[in-house]
Amino acid sequence: MYTYMEYLQKCFFKTTNWNEDNIFSNINATSQAILDFPIPNGLKVDSSSKTTDYLASSFTLSNFHLINGSLAYLYSLCPLTNTMGTKDVSLQDAIAGFRIIEPMITLRNQPVGPKTKKLRYSNKYNNNNNNNKNINNKKYAMKKDSRNSLLYGRMYFPGSALEAMVIKRINENTQLLVKCVSNPHLERNGTMIVYLQNNTMKYLRELIYSTNESLIGLRFLYNLGNPITKNISPALAPKFDNSVVSVGTELWFAARTMSPGLSTALRYSTRSTSTGKPLTMTLAVNPILGHISSTYTVKTSVASTFCSKYDFNFFSYASNLSLGFELYSYARNKNYLSPVESSMMLEQPTATVPGSLHNQATKPRRESQRQKSEDYISSSDSDYTRMQVKEFGPGGRITSEQKSNDRLPNKVSPIQNKRDRGREHFTNSSSNNSNSNINSNANTNLDAAFEEKVTTAFQNLVNASDFSSVVKVSTSLRDKTVKLLWEGRVKDFLVSTGARIAINPVTNAPEFSKFGINFSYAF
């Protein structure tokens, strides 16, 4: 579960259109969230508040062997209006889980090159082409907003440990990130790390310097494929690209010890064209240490995810297999819209709420889901949405009574039948056309349209689902450990509790090696 300050930082990135999934260090974020999740230690209480849209504070008190705590402040130059408290925040926003990778779409407003920069401005302001004054004002506002900053500081007690972070946006594609830690137990009483990041739609370039051993690092990540079709404007580009391939590498050199470092990674993310379920595969290699790691993560249903990881070292021949899953539970006693009302709501092309199907009584919590993704609900999905409403229950949402049927059907008979009916209707309507090439192209476009509807419908169901809790379980065959974690909402609090069970090497009996519970409240 994210701390409130981490949650505000992610909201800052969303507000300023910064794609975290395009960062090389996050290439294994999905598998780490399911397999390597942290277990709470002892008792911890976190109380946070956002006094204004620009300023927030947090107080933490914990009891593990001794009582300690911390006090943190965060200030943002841009208003963080897309944030919610623990009472209203969506559970998918507050908890690290499966991340759908679509870097080509998330950064659609950012330029790829000088040619697409002109095209971007012409498409963004195509409604005001005749008003040069409005265009100039909007360009100035965009240029001004691209230089936002975020300041963060935390003081720990008892003791004199401090930590700080500064995020300075140089332009809409480049930012400077500085992290500092002051602790008397560290060498030279502290350390500082500086990141200079250039994040675009096609690639990431990152320069890193750390005062610890004078470490210098370079990171690169490149997204294969063309984000914009040559003959299609960005506004008409498909909402989802079924496959995204990212290749990255990092180079390190410690000037003090003259030690090099090298690793490379590949990430492949795609969606099933028949069910719309996303999956992600990664492969990471460190040739210096001889380590290879591969992961496979698939969202098996709207409320469940499975992940596996295999590690191998070709120097020592040591290997390890890790397995894990997460399972969400649906909130009960919620008011749902009728199928007709939900279909009318989804038919609005300007709606920014993907799958927001609750009425005004649950508007605050649904507002938090509006920030997950934008502009992937179109009026062309209305017929398919009505079909999904009949398939999955009232309001197009999955209720707690439908947990056993909360997946898109493995047998895609409803989708296939609708595709066949659409193709048959098109064939009958075009039977009088003598041009067979037109028929062939139209059938191809029809299949692509229905495939896009399938992926869109599954994503709508994920975002529309109102979850109350999640259970995470992971195990490692070599370490012989099992980690259990429960995270959910209790009244107005977000609660996280878990344990790690390991085998005692002497008695060969299972024992709790770690246990704790966290309470978080923010308003």
CB atoms closer than 10 angstroms to residue 114: 7
pLDDT, residue 13, reads 94
String of DSSP letters for 57-109 = EEEEEEEESEEEEEEEEEEESS--TT---TTTS-HHHHS-------HHHHTTT
Residue 333 predicted with pLDDT over 90: no
The one-character DSSP state at 389 is H
Interval 465-508: pLDDT, tens: 889 999 999 999 998 899 999 999 999 999 999 999 998 888 88
Task: Based on DSSP, count helices (H) and strands (E) in the chain, helices before strands.
Answer: 11, 19
User: Tokens 């992600």 correspond to what residue?
Assistant: 280
**Mean pLDDT throughout 45-57?**
95
CB atoms closer than 10 angstroms to residue 30: 27
Domain extents for the chain?
A: 4-108+146-298+514-522, 339-465
**Mean pLDDT throughout 44-68?**
93
d(CA 124, CA 139): 10
Each as own residue / partner, the long-range contacts of residues 370-373 (CB below 8 Å, 24 or more positions apart, any chain) are 370/82, 371/11, 371/14, 371/82, 371/93, 372/90, 372/92, 372/93, 372/463, 373/459, 373/463
Confidence of residue 462 (pLDDT cuts 50, 70, 90): confident
Of 326, 320, 305, 327, the residue nearest 481 (C-alpha): 320
- Indicate the CATH number of 4-108+146-298+514-522 among 2.40.160, 2.60.40, 3.30.1380, 1.10.1740: 2.40.160
Interval 317-328: pLDDT, tens: 999 999 999 999
Residue 165 predicted with pLDDT over 80: yes
pLDDT, residue 360, reads 36
Give the residue ranges of DSSP H helices in 271-349.
Answer: 339-346
Residue 435 predicted with pLDDT over 90: no
Q: What is the pTM of this model?
A: 0.73
As beta bridge partners, residue 247 has 222, 266
Confidence of residue 452 (pLDDT cuts 50, 70, 90): low
Confidence of residue 3 (pLDDT cuts 50, 70, 90): very high
Interval 126-149: pLDDT, tens: 444 444 444 444 444 444 455 789
Helix (H, G, I), strand (E, B) or coil at 363: helix
Share of the chain above pLDDT 90, in %: 50
**Mean pLDDT throughout 402-413?**
40
Confidence of residue 234 (pLDDT cuts 50, 70, 90): very low
d(CA 227, CA 115): 13
pLDDT, residue 195, reads 98
Q: Give the residue, 90 or 347, on which the prediction is more confident.
A: 90
